[in-house]
Structure 1
Amino acid sequence: MEQLSQSFVEGALLLVDKPLGWTSFDVVNKLKKLTRTKVGHSGTLDPLATGLLICCTGKKTRELARLQGLTKVYAAVFRLGATSPSDDLETEPVQQRPYEFIHEALLQETAKQFLGMQQQIPPKFAAIKKHGVPLYRHARRGVEVDVEPRTIQILRFEIVSVHLPFVHVEITCSSGTYIRALARDFGKKLGCGAYLFALRRLAIGPYRVEQARTIFEWENYIRQALNQLPDASS
């Protein structure tokens, strides 16, 4: 057991396929208990999102800043014809609007307008802080605060399929990009409103979700490895 624990202290990079409903901190806390050392992650995924979460243990946590700066690839579903205060399904959709005039050529043309460097206003329900308090706490209290835009880059914005009111997309973007905010702004450009219906992170830099284990697979792997270690007293 000490041998395995020491390997995690020296540092390991764990690719996790985060399940729906778990926060990134839920994953980190689970791995802390399993590996018995410090653990950090390279970029938050919302509870309603799934997909690749890179976690580092022990001394490997020094690499988190580098990993956080890598480009991200997402598969997402945008729901047209309504908006949401949180820009996703965390809050009830509001402001139902007609979307029947939308056609694929318009979607393709609008997607092209988002390519490149730009300023993006984070969602009101984001975890970033204003006056030392996360934005989502201000929003839940009904307190309006000014949110400063952030510089982001959209490298690829592909319309994968259209089943109105749902639009399936794949996006390659810089670190710090909010796909929820992109769905919101995409709906504004179209004139019918939109919010994020589903999100899955496919890649971070060279790391792909296909290489990842679920948190339950990591738990089984680590427990089996512990059971297979020779008894130090023998």
Structure 2
Amino acid sequence: MTAEDYLNGQVILIDKPLKWTSFQVVNKVRWLLKHRYGIKKIKVGHAGTLDPLATGLLVICTGRFTKKIEEYQGQEKEYTGTITLGGTTPSFDLETEIDKEFDISHVTDDILEEARNKFIGEIQQQPPVFSALKKDGKRLYDYAREGKEVDIPTRTVHITEFDISNFATPEVHFRVVCSKGTYIRSLAHDFGKAVNAGGHLSSLRRTRIGSFKVEDALGLEEFEAGLPS
């Protein structure tokens, strides 16, 4: 690849590492392109945020291809992950501590299967309060960190597939295919509620966005190693 290639527009598939924000990955890619090619200014953006505690596919667009971001963001997404039953957290994942504990001795494969079916198709979902969505010009997570309660309207999302691959108490391992705007953290929380056992998302990996697949993605170190030194 030349500097001109990246300026004209490229799609870079990155396998986001754990604990990195999507914004940090974009900044790293931009910095590498500018320094390795001597480019003064280049647009770089991502097509769909991944939480810091999630790993997997991040679609990065450069140059003129940043105009395609909205198109890519709107495509179907696939994830694998783990819901841990027996406790809820304010953030619906491991970013915050467990605030309520639940008995899970009643949970069986049949109960999980019955609950799973309720989440396939068009569903109403409330985004987590620990999210970057804005209300009255302020990020929801800012309200949450200030301890302020805020009314979050539900939204309609579509779950095409929701499969449970394994249940090893208290962990439910799953795969989900869903529309743009679906919060898997909210799905984990709502699923725990549906089986009357509480639940939070304990791991998440994005495996696909549209036709882009994580197996075709590069780690950040791999991407850096492929650039001119």
Name the residue aligned to 1:32: 30
Match among 152, 160, 168 for residue 157 of structure 2: 152
Please tell me whether residue 130 in structure 1 is matched to residue 135 in structure 2: yes
Q: Pairwise mapping of residues 183-222 of structure 1 onto structure 2 (< 5 A)?
A: 183-222=188-227
Amino acid of the structure 2 residue aligned with 1:207: F
Percent identical: 46
Letter in 2 for 1:171: V
Q: CA deviation at 1:131?
A: 1.0
Aligned residue type for 1:34: L
Matches of 2:27 and 2:110, distance apart in 1 = 45
- TM-score, normalised to structure 2's length? 0.95
Look up the equivalent residue of 2:224 and give its one-letter code: E
Alignment of 1:102-117 (within 5 A): 102-117=107-122
Which one-letter code corresponds to 1:79 in the other structure? T
**TM-score normalised over the length of structure 1:** 0.93
Amino acid at match of 2:81: A
Please name the residue that 1:12 is paired with: 10
Q: How many residues are aligned here?
A: 222
Q: State the SS of the aligned residue for 1:213.
A: coil
State the alpha-carbon separation in 1 of the partners of residues 160 and 166 from structure 2.
Answer: 19
Q: Which residue in the other structure is 2:124 paired with?
A: 119
Task: Provide the C-alpha distance between the structure 2 equivalents of 1:131 and 1:143, rounded to a whole number of angstroms.
Answer: 14
1:163 to 160, 165, 168: 168
How far apart, CA to CA, are the structure 2 residues paired with 1:19 and 1:152? 27
Task: Note the 1:218-229 alignment, pairs <5 A.
Answer: 218-222=223-227, 226-227=228-229
**What is the rounded CA distance, in whole Å, between the counterparts of 1:108 and 1:159 in structure 2?**
8
Q: What is the letter of the counterpart of residue 13 of structure 2?
A: L
In the alignment, which residue of structure 2 is the partner of 1:23? 21
Q: Which amino acid in structure 1 is aligned with residue 188 of structure 2? A: A
Take 1:216 and 1:143, find their aligned partners in 2: how far apart are those partners? 40
SS at structure 1 position matched to 2:84: strand
Greater gyration radius: 1
Q: Secondary structure at the match of 1:88?
A: coil
Alignment of 1:5-84 (within 5 A): 5-36=3-34, 37-84=42-89
Moved over 6 A (4+): none
One-letter amino acid matched to 2:210 = G
Looking at structure 1, the residues matched to 112 and 124 of structure 2 have their Cα atoms a distance apart, in angstroms, of: 21
Pick aligned residue for 2:183 from 175, 178, 195: 178
- Find 1:86's aligned residue among 84, 88, 91: 91
Tell me what 1:230 maps to.
none
- The DSSP-based 3-state class of the residue aligned with 2:101 is coil
Residue 73 of structure 1, CA deviation: 0.4
User: 5+ unaligned residues in a row in structure 2: which ranges?
Assistant: 35-41
Structure 1: 5+ residue runs without aligned partners?
228-234
RMSD: 0.9
Helix, strand or coil at the partner of 1:93: coil
The one-letter amino acid paired with 2:125 is Q
> Which AA in structure 2 matches 1:89?
L
Deviation for aligned residue 1:20: 0.1
